[in-house]
Amino acid sequence: MKILFLSHYFPPEVNAPATRTYEHCSRWVQQGHQVTVVTCNPNHPHGELYPGHRNRLWQEEQVAGIRVIRLWTFLSANKGFGLRTLNYVWFMLACVLLCWRFGRHDVVISTSPQFFNGLAGYAVSRLRRLPWVLEIRDLWPESILAVGAMKEGWITRLLYWLELFCYRRCDLIVPVTDSFRDYMVGKGIDPDKIMVIKNGVDLTLFSLNQPAPDPHLDYLFEQHGLKGKFIAAYVGTHGMAHHLDTILQAAEQLRARQDIHFLLVGDGAERERLQQLAQQKKLSNVTLLGQLPKPSMPALWNRVHLSLILLRKSDTFKSVIPSKIFESLAMNKAIILGVEGESAQLLQESGCGICITPEDADALAREVQALADDGERHRQMAAGGSDYVREHFDRDRLAQRFVDGMATRVGIAQVPTAICANGRPD
């Protein structure tokens, strides 16, 4: 099968959409399919090009057998509204204007958010006469309304109309949660048109086997005095949706516990403000490390004791499952989850964590302290996470189910594709 995948994010960016896209596409290549990913030049989250990359109109490279096309990108930091929207719209237009150069394919997949990237799939599918698969990783505009980034008005009404337009026009919708599926069915979409493929984890990377030594992490832990402490870690995007003030409020309550430390790893629109707030409060029990490369994640998890996974208190977020849940479970880390709905149901089923009310700093402080003081309970809670994700959320199985279901529902023969020397399909 010849697959064209439109994704705003792709490695070396390390956010969840880049990871999901790469891990699915690399596995499809291993199965003998030819995959082309069209993406931006890597610049998330600061709007600055990663070292070794240039912002050209068109660049091609091979990544794990994937043909990767990077288009000229309107660079913008992952904060604010106007410039970021220009970044999104430009990439959509670039995909449409240059799609004649992508080569021949059997199907186009576009992933949303961001919303305009999802919409690009419609135009490209019509111009190239291809079936269109729309992957939905978050509900827009619901998620941007939930964090207060936009208010109800004519723009959101337009986005709601476009959302329904996309659902109706695509050939297959692939949401990442059952709750998303229920939402779409409630909008009048045929259930047979929807195939849920949840997020998962690469068990070859997130393995309980001892990871390779990481001198840089050793240095960081030594520098910040983290060795020998009970570390409760938040790993992921520092965005408006996550309400990480809850962690700082909990840390303030536990400042007298010198053996407990809160670690925040990642980047995002809120990181600078959180750093300043921690300094203002003189929270010596909080460390913000910034973003680390993906290969360092297993070694990081080996050094921490507890995973904190938080979102704002909102009905919208009851339908999401943060992908960091699966990485935490794969590394046998107990979880404190401040997310309601489908995520809480999953964690309760695994038996590997504690659910608290979102934005409840008192509960977070209380549960972190309880687990730090009860080593046996902590160990029992953490055990079994890797077995649970291996059974239900192994990325190998999910990628296989994705491509098999797509071929069946869209009507494409799964014939391995020969690749020419230039990386294009024959």
Q: What is the mean pLDDT of each run of 10 residues along the chain (426 residues)?
A: 97 93 97 97 92 95 97 87 87 96 97 88 96 92 66 80 92 96 95 96 88 85 93 94 96 96 94 96 95 91 96 91 95 97 96 97 98 95 94 96 93 58 44
Determine the pLDDT at residue 217. 92
Residue 64 CA to residue 262 CA, distance in Å, equals 36
**Per-residue buried b or exposed e for 243-258, using 16+ beta carbons within 10 Å of the residue's own CB:** bbebbbbbbbebeebe
Whether domain 2-200+395-410 has CATH 3.30.465.10: the reply is no
Report CA-CA distances (Å) from 217 to 22, 224, 226, 228, 286. 25, 11, 11, 14, 17
As beta bridge partners, residue 232 has 262, 306
Residue 204 CA to residue 283 CA, distance in Å, equals 37
Residue 413 CA to residue 75 CA, distance in Å, equals 39
**Which residues are CB-contacts of 196 (< 8 A; sequence separation ≥ 6)?**
174, 175, 176, 177, 178, 180, 181
Cβ distance 176 to 136 under 8 Å?
A: yes
User: Residue type at 161?
Assistant: W
User: Residue type at 364?
Assistant: L
Q: What tokens appear for 174 in the block?
A: 């692939």
Cβ distance 7 to 20 under 8 Å?
A: no
Cβ distance 406 to 107 under 8 Å?
A: yes
Whether domain 215-388 has CATH 3.40.50.2000: the reply is yes
Determine the pLDDT at residue 192. 94
Determine the pLDDT at residue 424. 47
Report CA-CA distances (Å) from 252 to 232, 285, 354. 14, 8, 21
pTM for this one?
0.89
Residue 412 CA to residue 402 CA, distance in Å, equals 13
Domain with CATH 3.40.50.2000 in the chain: 2-200+395-410, 215-388
Q: Where are the alpha helices (DSSP H) in 224-357?
A: 245-253, 271-280, 297-303, 324-330, 342-350
Cβ distance 299 to 212 under 8 Å?
A: yes
Determine the pLDDT at residue 154. 80
As beta bridge partners, residue 59 has 70
Determine the pLDDT at residue 146. 65
Determine the pLDDT at residue 150. 61
Q: What tokens appear for 362 in the block?
A: 């008192």
User: Residue type at 198?
Assistant: K
The C-alpha R_g of the chain, in whole angstroms, comes to 21
Cβ distance 104 to 2 under 8 Å?
A: yes
To the nearest 10°, report the CA torsion of 278, 243, 224, 202: -170
Residue 11 CA to residue 327 CA, distance in Å, equals 17
Cβ distance 60 to 423 under 8 Å?
A: yes
**Residue 66 in 3-state DSSP?**
strand
Pick from 17, 37, 16: nearest CA to 26: 37
Phi, psi of 204 (to 5 degrees): -80, -25
Q: What tokens appear for 151 in the block?
A: 């208010």
